[in-house]
Every structure is written in structure tokens, then in C-alpha cells.
Amino acid sequence: MDQRVRSVIAFMRTNLDRATSVSEMAASVQLSPSHLRQLFNQETGKPVARYLRELRLDRARELLETTFLSVKEIAARAGLQSINHFVTDFKKAHGVTPAQFAARYRRTARAR
């Protein structure tokens, strides 16, 4: 994988909790936003925004599995600005809402 794409992915992971733009990511690797979009899609098979959303949803899933934070707090820590979009995207990815997902893990944790 192209080193610039790896660097952008590392940048995304480091900055999951805040809003970042493609322009900011592109500047971090000295590319134009359009060149980054093209290269990123070519190297990963996904657009930059979708890759970032998937990273954020993965982070949210980890937090739902390992913490007792509220869904709202988890969304904020994963950099997901809209609770409604978070719930919709999470349900699409995992088949259940974040609250249902968390309840499953929290019941298991309490039973131990």
C-alpha cells in the first residue's frame, strides 16, 4: 500500500474524535484533495469518507463492548457528530442499534 495512504489512515485513527476534512488529510501528506481521493480509492477500494466512517463505527463498537458510556458519549468519542446517523449506520453494519449492542455486552460483563 502507498505510504501516503498509510499515513492518512494513521492520521484518521489518531484524529477519530474530531472533525477532519479531506483537505486536512491531503495536506498532511502533501497531496491535493482530489489526488488523495483518487489514490486512496485506488489503494483501499473505498472512498476516504467511507473508510473514515467505518473506522469510527469500529471505534464505537469497541467502546460499546468495553465501557459503560452512554451511546451519546460513545458517538462523541468516535467522532460521530449526528446521533441519528450513528444509530442508522451502526444498525446497518451490525443488525442492531448501538443500545441493543451495548446491552448484550453489558449483561455479559455483569454476569461475570
- Per residue in 21-72, pLDDT (tens digit) is 999 999 999 999 999 999 999 999 999 999 999 999 999 999 999 999 999 9
Give domain 3-111's CATH superfamily: Homeodomain-like (1.10.10.60)
Cα 48 from Cα 40, distance rounded (Å): 6
- Per residue in 87-107, pLDDT (tens digit) is 999 999 999 999 999 988 776
Per DSSP, 30 falls in state T
> What is the average pLDDT across 5-31?
96
pLDDT at residue 112 tops 80: no
Q: Which of 42, 106, 94, 15 has its CA nearest to residue 34?
A: 42
- Per residue in 22-33, pLDDT (tens digit) is 999 999 999 999
pTM for the whole structure: 0.88
